[in-house]
């Protein structure tokens, strides 16, 4: 892959996605915001992960906090890195199809003509591809994708949003129990 492709692909993806309106408040983002509005601690944890990155939150979150639980669950889950995309918690695409679209998108040699049509066909995959490339670079994004594909067979037919929501909900119910046991030990 040429140096020009390596650096221009993320810029081109950003430009086309922005100009096509993919980064405006879409229904998935609004549905995700409504779901997160039900639990402020989960919302803060997701926001923190999106701002600082998953690895930074894992390293800095206070032990026993909801943020530590969320970051820990997402780190060990093969699809956890996809939380970085706004709207991921409301993504209705089946994991297997989304990963196949993402793999196809990341492995293509792009021309300007192909890029616009590809983004129109797979807007969800394009958003995830852009995020992975921005965070990791193209080669590492491809490697991450291969790991996701091989490790996610158990949830392949599940919606991505439902899968991520179940991870977060386990932290929602786990956090109060940890607090209660700590409080009862102090008494």
Q: What is the DSSP string of 92-158?
A: -SBHHHHHHHHHHHHHSPP-HHHHHHHHHH-HHHHHHHHHHHHHH-HHHHHHHHHHHHHH-GGGTTS
Residue whose entry in the numeric block shows the structure tokens 């797979």: 122
Give the per-residue pLDDT at 165. Answer: 94
Question: What distance in Å separates the CA atoms of residue 123 and residue 146, rounded to the nearest whole number?
Answer: 20
Q: What is the pLDDT of residue 187?
A: 37
Per-residue pLDDT of the chain (187 residues; tens, 9 = 90+): 454 455 555 555 555 555 554 455 588 889 999 999 999 999 999 999 999 999 999 999 998 899 999 999 999 999 999 999 989 999 988 898 888 888 877 776 655 555 555 555 566 787 888 888 888 888 888 888 888 988 888 888 899 999 999 999 999 854 444 444 444 343 3
């Amino acid at each position: 892959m040429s140096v020009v492709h390596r650096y221009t692909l993320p810029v081109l993806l950003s430009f086309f996605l922005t100009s096509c309106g993919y980064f405006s408040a879409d229904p998935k983002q609004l549905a995700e915001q409504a779901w997160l509005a039900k639990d402020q601690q989960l919302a803060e944890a997701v926001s923190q992960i999106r701002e600082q990155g998953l690895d930074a939150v894992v390293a800095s979150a206070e032990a026993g906090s909801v943020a530590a639980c969320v970051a820990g669950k997402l780190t060990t889950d093969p699809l956890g890195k996809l939380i970085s995309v706004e709207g991921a918690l409301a993504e209705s695409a089946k994991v297997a199809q989304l990963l196949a679209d993402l793999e196809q998108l990341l492995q293509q040699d792009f021309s300007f003509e192909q890029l616009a049509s590809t983004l129109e066909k797979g807007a969800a995959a394009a958003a995830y591809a852009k995020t992975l490339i921005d965070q990791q670079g193209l080669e590492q994004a491809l490697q991450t994708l291969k790991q996701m594909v091989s490790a996610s067979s158990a949830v392949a037919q599940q919606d991505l949003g439902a899968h991520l929501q179940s991870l977060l909900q386990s932290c929602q119910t786990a956090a109060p129990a940890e607090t209660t046991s700590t409080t009862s030990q102090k008494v």
